[in-house]
Chain A
Amino acid sequence: MLMDVRFKRDGTALIAYIEGEIDHHTSRILRERIDSKFIVEPVKNLIMDLSRVTFMDSAGIGFILGRMKKVSSIGGEMSIRNPRPEIMKMLKMSHIDSLIKLDT
């Protein structure tokens, strides 16, 4: 299993605990799983916990920005939690850290 995602609800926020590798292949699956969960839960905010993400390329940037657009279109907020240093490098490079709340 290259990638897995588990969910938890915290008030108005859905927390997605992502595990493994985010690339073009896995991000398509990840996108479907997160979007379909987000729609059925009574939430408006999305938190992505990246503490167990071991690899991410630029497909992850597109994936994160895509979720951010969805969430803000319904007036919610998105944030990212606990990225590892390698993942942080990718987030910084694409300036996502200036668009999305980041808790490290």
Chain B
Amino acid sequence: MQPVNRMKTEFLSKSSNEAFARVVAASFVAQADPSIDILADIRTAVSEAVTNAVIHGYEEKEGIITMECILYQDHVEIIIEDHGKGIEDIEQARMPLFTTRPDLERSGMGFTVMETFMDSLEIESAPGKGTKIRMTKQLVYR
């Protein structure tokens, strides 16, 4: 399938960029004229993935996060990547309520939110290498 449009951006792993990333992703997808609900879901999922890169990937130290959005006729693919700590056990990380940082009042619901709000979620990660999140969302109700 041919992409209709594509963008890629990189930014520092600062918590203030969580809002930046979700606003940028939503305004890029908005050109496909999806419903408000779909845009809200995308905003939330992007916020989760970027927050994870900031808190868990780079442990609030400086690093670079990249975000790529690929727009297709009927769906969008969003890839968010860090080169931080990586995940030891991906299956465990995906479980609702699982968090390695209860001290930060994390709820352990990030991956569950991404899974529920998007149509697909793939996690590629290796300890010491980093984490790549790939999510897709249908833009047209079929």
Contact = CB atoms under 8 A, between A and B. Distances in A.
Interface of A: 2, 21, 23-25, 27-28, 31, 55, 57-59, 61-63, 65-66, 86, 90, 93-94
Interface residues of B, number: 23
B105 A57 contact: no
Main secondary structure of the interface of A (DSSP, over half): helix
Contacts of B107: 58-59, 61-62, 65, 94
> Which residue, of B19, B54, B106, has the highest number of chain A Cβ atoms within 10 A?
B19
Interface stretch (B39-47, B80-88, B119-127): B39-47
Contacts of B73: none
Contacts of B93: none
B116 A93 contact: yes
B96 to A, nearest CB: 8
B112 interface: yes
A62 B112 CA distance: 14
B128 to A, nearest CB: 24
A24 B44 contact: no
